[in-house]
Amino acid sequence: MTNRRQFLQYASAAAAATTLATKSSSAFAAASEAPFKISLAEWSLHKMLFDKSKNVTNMDFPKIAKEECGIEAVEYVNQFFKDKANDKKYLGELKQRCDDLGVKSLLIMCDGEGRLGDPNEDARTKAVENHYRWVEAAKFLGCHSIRVNAASGGSYDEQMKLAADGLRRLSQFAAKHDINVIVENHGGLSSNGAWLASTIAKTEMDNCGTLPDFGNFTVRRGKDPEVYDRYKGVNELMPYAKAVSAKSHDFDKDGNETHTDYFKMMEIVLKHGYNGYVGIEYEGGKVSELEGIKLTKQLLERVAAKMA
């Protein structure tokens, strides 16, 4: 399977990417288009969407992305239409709005559906089956993936085995719909790049991959916190990436993100041959959500111009 081959090749690929040497005249120099495309993750607007006084819903998301942010590809979050996964009338209207606007639906980020690596077999099976409707909704909307979590319990190796089992079973169902199952580094061992990369390889499913997030590398909080190196983590996850999440919080006077060196990070992303969508996920609080999205977009555009 492709994942097994990728895993065997991983060490050399990772080493090449971590050098981060200044790129010479690479394939991008001759490319006639930008080295990657920009999309918008719905979580960037979570404050607006959760605030009932704003009267903004998931149905408005494609229009906001296109008309307010100048972005023509969107990544949904299931929390904002949790009861609509099986509602073909609702999904049909959402799809029509996207079609009318010329907006492309890329994926649905799925939370709150159970632990795909739950140590209890019945609970794990229930979690797998809970995601089926989101696979079908993603297919209906024209998405390529659903983003899931790899939460589990037990030792390092036990969690890998359990999460791989749940992900494999879900991916087998999703494969029948031509949908990918992609895992974000999203806390716990999933924020350990080596663990998540190995877990994906263990599924041995071509449609099971990763969604590397630039900022979610806190493995453990509390009195004995553990934070994984974000550049190392993204490098480890990129061989399996089917999407990328550009997390942003704050910006300096020059428009650079203060937590992540976007030029260094995107160098890693591109060295792995990735040229798909990079989704903006703004989570800051010093400027408005719309302004934060625009600042992130401007930064990504500067990165693209430099690396093209």
Indicate if the pLDDT at residue 16 is higher than 80. no
Closest of 99, 92, 207, 202 to residue 148, by C-alpha: 207
Mean pLDDT of 283-293: 97
pLDDT in tens, 112-170: 999 999 999 999 999 999 999 999 999 999 999 999 999 999 999 999 999 999 999 99
pLDDT in tens, 74-104: 999 999 999 999 999 999 999 999 999 999 9
Mean pLDDT of 218-232: 95
Mean pLDDT of 216-229: 94
pLDDT at 13: 42
- Encoded tokens for 280: 């903006």
pLDDT at 33: 80
pLDDT in tens, 24-36: 333 333 344 899 9
pLDDT at 3: 55
Q: How many percent of the chain have pLDDT more than 90?
A: 88
Indicate if the pLDDT at residue 10 is higher than 50. no
Mean pLDDT of 48-55: 96
pLDDT at 237: 98
Q: Cβ(238)–Cβ(9) under 8 Å?
A: no
Cβ neighbours for 40, distance < 8 A, ≥ 6 positions apart: 65, 69, 71, 73, 74, 75, 279, 280, 293
Gap between the Cα atoms of 225 and 200, Å rounded: 25
pLDDT class for 189, splitting at 50, 70, 90?
Answer: very high
* Structural domains of the chain, ranges and CATH numbers in brackets: 2-8+37-307 (3.20.20.150)
Spacing of C-alpha 249 from chain mean position: 16
Instruction: Scan for tokens 């632990």, then name that residue.
Output: 115
Gap between the Cα atoms of 157 and 5, Å rounded: 21
- Encoded tokens for 88: 């073909």
The three-class DSSP label of residue 146 is: strand
Indicate if the pLDDT at residue 261 is higher than 90. yes
pLDDT at 146: 98
- Encoded tokens for 100: 């009318």
Q: What is the mean pLDDT of the chain?
A: 92
